[in-house]
Amino acid sequence: MVVVTGQNKVSATPDDAMSSSDAEDDFQEPATPTASQAGQALPLLPQQFPEVVPLNVGGMFFTTRLSTLRRYEDTMLAAMFSGRHYIPTDAEGRYFIDRDGTYFGDILNFLRSGDLPPRERVRSVYKEAQYYSIGPLLDNLEDIQPLKGEKVRQAFLGLMPYYKDHLERIIEIAKLRAMQRKARFAKLKVCVFKEEMPITPYECPHFNSLRFERSESDTKLFEHHCEVDVSFGPWEAVADVYDLLHCIVTDLSARGITVDHQCIGVCDKHLINHYYCKRPIYEFKITWW
């Protein structure tokens, strides 16, 4: 028996009643949003910055004008302090940038008055300028030493096939040999040659040029690999073997590796007739501690 009241309430026998689980499947009350969900749903208001901005950069404190931080539009600092992004503050209310602040003063000095750092800090400030995407500072630093000279050096090294790979091979071989011998240092042989054509003391006068024409079959006769650990060359540039050796030692030293080298002779491998390979061979000594 079903009774309908004025309030449209329905009572039913147990067989006709809908189970609670079925009712929940057909209709569920929307969950009340949590505080965090509500916060995520609301758009963040633009952050307001004072005209004089206190900064905490990795634990170092700075104070500058807001206009200084916004000096160049296409920079990370201008974007950070545009109001579009939220910048956290420390306990003292300083705006916090999670970055080493050692060279941030040099960044601010350029933004304030265009001052450039002293030469000994140029490389480090350049890295910070890259991080903050300050194009005008990068351009200025690249036009002075030592970065100007580094651009010239990299142009030369661009002629070296697999230069960086060969550096890694030198390090890896030296490490393995030192570990195998339980030694403080390791030695390896490195060939550095500018000209592909072998030089011999028995050449005829008309063969003095290193670029005389050879047939394809003759060329194959001169192809060989010197019995060394790593080989650099050939290349076409004014820079010579000693210039490349300087680059190798410089780049290894920049990675904290102590290296000494000396010429120990030439390959001297017999190729054909009176031709012998005269590529110079250098002994590199890598000291690990």
For residue 245, pLDDT beyond 70: yes
Mean pLDDT of the chain: 82
68-104 per-position pLDDT tens digit: 999 999 999 999 999 999 999 999 999 999 999 999 9
pLDDT bucket at 278, cuts 50 / 70 / 90: confident
Beta pairing class for 3-4 and 10-11: antiparallel
pTM tops 0.85, yes or no: no
In contact, 82 and 70? CB cutoff 8 Å? yes
Query: Interhelix angle for 147-157 vs 241-254, to 10°?
Result: 120
Please give the angle made by the CA atoms of 180, 182 and 183, to the nearest 5 degrees. 110
pLDDT bucket at 197, cuts 50 / 70 / 90: low
Residue 200 has what pLDDT? 56
Residue 207 has what pLDDT? 45
Q: Which amino acid is at 64?
A: T
Give CA–CA dist 230/187, Å, rounded: 12
Tokens 């230069």 map to which residue?
Answer: 163
Q: Which structural domains are found in the chain, ordered by start?
A: 52-144 (3.30.710.10), 158-201+225-287 (no CATH)
For residue 178, pLDDT beyond 90: yes
211-241 per-position pLDDT tens digit: 445 555 555 656 778 899 999 998 988 999 9
